[in-house]
Chain A
Amino acid sequence: EAAVTQSPRNKVTVTGGNVTLSCRQTNSHNYMYWYRQDTGHGLRLIHYSYGAGNLQIGDVPDGYKATRTTQEDFFLLLELASPSQTSLYFCASSGGLGGRQNTLYFGAGTRLSVL
């Protein structure tokens, strides 16, 4: 079973604050993703990566940076947090070879509140 661990599970910050969300996967998957989940919108893709040092832009990248430091670790950075970024954030990974390999394995989520 794929394991994706997110930290912290909950985070509260103030407008203009600096936040880093962390994600680690332990299954040697090539792809990692950051999604945000908001009522009425489902999951929206922020950034994704297909390997260490790689970064691809998703559908809602504004206000977010991301960095993939190793095969295992993918970080999401909010350098000037705004209330509109209050959301539930999910990290996911996948094997990336097509067929069954594009199945996503999700972490438990990080709930972020920007006051």
Chain B
Amino acid sequence: TQTVSQSDAHVTVFEGDSVELRCNYSYGGSIYLSWYIQHHGHGLQFLLKYYSGNPVVQGVNGFEAEFSKSDSSFHLRKASVHWSDSAVYFCAVSGFSNYNVLYFGSGTKLTVEP
């Protein structure tokens, strides 16, 4: 059984601040990890993915995430946020044996204040 935990339901920062959104997973084998973004009133959009190699992966709009096997984590970071980054962010995990089935966390709502 795979689970994804996003411990922070809400995060509020100011424009220009850095931000880290946390994701921890529980899975017994090799995995894919990904992040998706959901702007209000829209479907989810892919941000980035990790499945092997360099544990730091780059995504769109300056986002990056770092995989840590020892911590079972895949935290999302951005060095300087913009008001347009306000959205809900979802972490997802899928196993190598059935990589087409993604299991999502409960999401973190990021609010960027001007």
Contacts and interface: CB of A to CB of B under 8 A. Distances in A.
Which of B9, B45, B101: most chain A CB closer than 10 A?
B101
A104 B44 contact: yes
Interface stretch (B12-20, B61-69, B72-80, B102-110): B102-110
Interface string B27-56: 000001010100001111110010100000
Nearest to A30: B100
B90 A104 contact: no
Interface residues of A, number: 28
A102 B94 contact: yes
Interface in A59-106: 59, 90, 92, 94, 96, 98-100, 102-106
Interface residues of B, number: 25
Contact of B100 (A31, A40, A41): A31
A90 B44 contact: yes
Given A106-B44, A108-B42, A42 B90 contact: yes
Interface of B: 4, 6, 9, 32, 34, 36, 41-46, 49, 51, 90, 94, 99-107
Given A42-B4, A102-B100, A104-B36, 16 more contacts: A35-B104, A40-B9, A40-B106, A42-B6, A42-B90, A42-B107, A43-B90, A50-B100, A59-B103, A92-B43, A98-B99, A102-B94, A104-B44, A106-B43, A106-B44, A108-B43
Interface of A: 4, 31, 35, 40-45, 48, 50, 58-59, 90, 92, 94, 96, 98-100, 102-109
